[in-house]
């Protein structure tokens, strides 16, 4: 499995009036971890675009287990679990100090040909080759 892990210190501007992270900011945290995972594959968003594809998120699932608060240090672990026909990534957000589970999530992305805007029903060869290189 291909994975990535990032650490984030929760800034003041990410919290709401209840002093917890506003729910919409979790998507930003997932994106940070996803970008790290794509960098590990060697197929980040700039490389995707250069290869003639964009990969929009078509599904997002979030399960809030425990609130995240200002100044908390969190760890986001991203794992690529599917790549043949789509990119499906699972995420686990934990407290960096205690390891307590805070949030579970997943995203699904599909390849779209940049030139025609057509969705692909299989992942393009360029992605498969990048993942194949990592398996060696």
Q: At what angle do helices 25-41 and 125-135 cross, to 10 degrees?
A: 70
DSSP E strands in the chain: the ranges are 2-9, 53-54, 57-64, 73-82, 87-95, 101-109, 112-113
The residue annotated as part of the active site, out of 9, 14, 16, 59, is 16
Is 14 a residue of the active site? no
The residues annotated as belonging to the active site are: 16
């Amino acid at each position: 499995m291909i994975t990535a892990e990032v650490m984030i210190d929760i800034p003041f501007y990410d919290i709401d009036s209840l002093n917890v992270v506003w729910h919409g900011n979790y998507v930003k945290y997932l994106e940070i971890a996803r970008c790290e995972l794509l960098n590990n594959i060697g197929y980040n968003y700039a490389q995707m675009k250069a290869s003639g594809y964009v990969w929009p998120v078509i599904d997002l699932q979030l399960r809030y287990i425990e609130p995240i608060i200002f100044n908390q240090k969190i760890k986001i672990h991203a794992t690529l679990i599917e790549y043949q026909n789509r990119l499906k990534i699972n995420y686990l957000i934990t407290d960096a100090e205690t390891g307590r589970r805070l949030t579970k999530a997943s995203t699904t992305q599909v390849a779209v040909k940049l030139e025609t805007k057509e969705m692909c029903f299989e992942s393009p060869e360029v992605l498969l080759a990048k993942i194949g290189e990592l398996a060696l």
